[in-house]
Amino acid sequence: MTKVLYDQDIQKEVLQGKKIAIVGYGSQGHAHAQNLRESGHDVVVGLRPGKSQQKAEEDGFQVVSVAEATKQADVVMVLLPDEHQTAVYEESIKPNLQAGNALVFAHGFNIHFSQIVPPADVDVFLVAPKGPGHLVRRTYEEGAGVPALYGVYQDVTGDATELALAYAQGIGAARAGVLETSFQEETETDLFGEQAVLCGGLTSLVKAGFETLTEAGYQPEVAYFECLHEMKLIVDLLYEGGLENMRYSISDTAQWGDFVSGPRVINEETKGRMKEVLDDIQAGKFAKGWILENQANRAQFNATNAKENQHQIEKVGRELRELMPFVKQPLQEKQKDVKAHVTN
Ligand SMILES: NC(=O)C1=CN([C@@H]2O[C@H](COP(=O)(O)OP(=O)(O)OC[C@H]3O[C@@H](n4cnc5c(N)ncnc54)[C@H](OP(=O)(O)O)[C@@H]3O)[C@@H](O)[C@H]2O)C=CC1
Ligand SMILES: CC[C@](O)(C(C)=O)C(=O)O
Ligand SMILES: [Mg+2]
Ligand SMILES: [Mg+2]
């Protein structure tokens, strides 16, 4: 079995006395910056002027330009959207990196697909949390953590592996488990997971279920509770104890339906489609398409996003969640509250 490392296996001293620049203060950025600070590390945040800058300052960070943060830091973690990293790297990070610095990523996309070619005299590694940034923060505050992968692309100081592990520990990942990977493996598995299972697969499954019920004349509210709201409750059981734990809690009728009908929906044909998705990722076809989509000002991305937000499941869900105060406020609503607070 692959060796999974935990807090007691990791020396944090290698990061002591080093300054860490967190470039970007979005989903991952705010979580890394706050967790590392609370783990006793020295953090500076690198940003352009704007809404994230205000938020990071509100959270008590010293915020400087990306160029200045890179100059000040020993370890530079790039937490910008993948599609903006190359331009910011070329303009502000590369000219300010010093020999022996560490250039770090939370996803291998730009190194693996050669969009960023780092200088030969810096360490390059990744620490990739296997979870959304807001949960990296929330679980850390709860005394837990989100697991992470680490991988070294270039080790000029001889310390790259120890630095990666100490960084992973600083964000709370070693409470859950840290394991070694390569940039290739992290990039390809992460893209596959989000496209075929966690995001693309899940939203398509939920919508197909909702549409099947509503098109058959059932109430949209019933379909929403059945196909989306209850998903979280079922997934919590999977998270806590795997398939067996979920099946322990559901009725025998549901478990029999799981066995006989699940494979009618997700079957060898679906796996064949998953294999096609993986092939496109491995061949660089997905990456090329995403880079071109950004060069074309995201016409398809924006149109699809607007259409998705108008789906009936979203409208019904918004109304139903208003009536369930115990359901957590959506993250983008919280962000609006922060912005209102900053402007007032
Ligand atoms: N989201 C996630 O949970 C996960 C992400 N990752 C990886 O982490 C990295 C960061 O992703 P994520 O956290 O989603 O990114 P976000 O989209 O949340 O990052 C947005 C941040 O980047 C800043 N930013 C955007 N463009 C620029 C620019 N040109 N110059 C300076 N700052 C800029 C924004 O500032 P402003 O407010 O000024 O626009 C904001 O602070 C990616 O490599 C991603 O693949 C890995 C695991 C999970
Ligand atoms: C599942 C999506 C993800 O890979 C993540 C949160 O891990 C991402 O890129 O946001
Ligand atoms: Mg991921
Ligand atoms: Mg990802």
Q: Which of 26-30, 62-66, 325-329 comes out lowest in average pLDDT?
A: 325-329
- pLDDT value, residue 329: 78
Ligand 2 pocket mutation, candidates 190, 191, 195, 286, criterion most atoms within 8 A of CB: 190
Minimum CA distance residue for ligand 2 atom 1: 194
Mean pLDDT across the chain, nearest whole number? 96
Is residue 206 predicted with pLDDT exceeding 50?
Answer: yes
Ligand 2 in reach of 81 Cβ (< 6 A):
no
Active-site residue among 84, 107, 134, 341? 107
- The fold of the 7-181 domain, in CATH, is Rossmann fold (3.40.50)
Percent of the chain having pLDDT more than 90?
94
Ligand 1 pocket mutation, candidates 27, 59, 124, criterion most atoms within 8 A of CB: 27
80 or 325, which is more confident? 80
The closest alpha carbon to 52, from 83, 33, 26, 79, belongs to: 26
Element at 31 (helix H, strand E): helix 27-38
Cα three-residue angle 131-287-296, rounded to 5 degrees: 110
Q: Is 112 annotated as catalytic?
A: no
The distance in angstroms from the start CA to the end CA of the chain is 54
> Which residue is listed with tokens 């008590």?
60
Q: Which residues contact 169 (CB under 8 A, 6 or more apart)?
A: 7, 10, 12, 39, 178
- pLDDT value, residue 11: 94
In which residue ranges of the chain is CATH 3.40.50.720 found? 7-181
Separation between Cα atoms, residue 168 and residue 177, nearest integer Å: 9
* Chain centre to alpha carbon of residue 220: 31
- pLDDT value, residue 344: 40
- State pLDDT tens for residues 151-200: 999 999 999 999 999 999 999 999 999 999 999 999 999 999 999 999 99
Element at 123 (helix H, strand E): strand 123-129
Q: Which ligand is nearest to the CA of 332?
A: 1
- State pLDDT tens for residues 93-107: 999 999 999 999 999
Binding site per annotation, positions for substrate? 251
- pLDDT value, residue 342: 43
Backbone angles phi, psi at 323, to 5 degrees: -95, 5
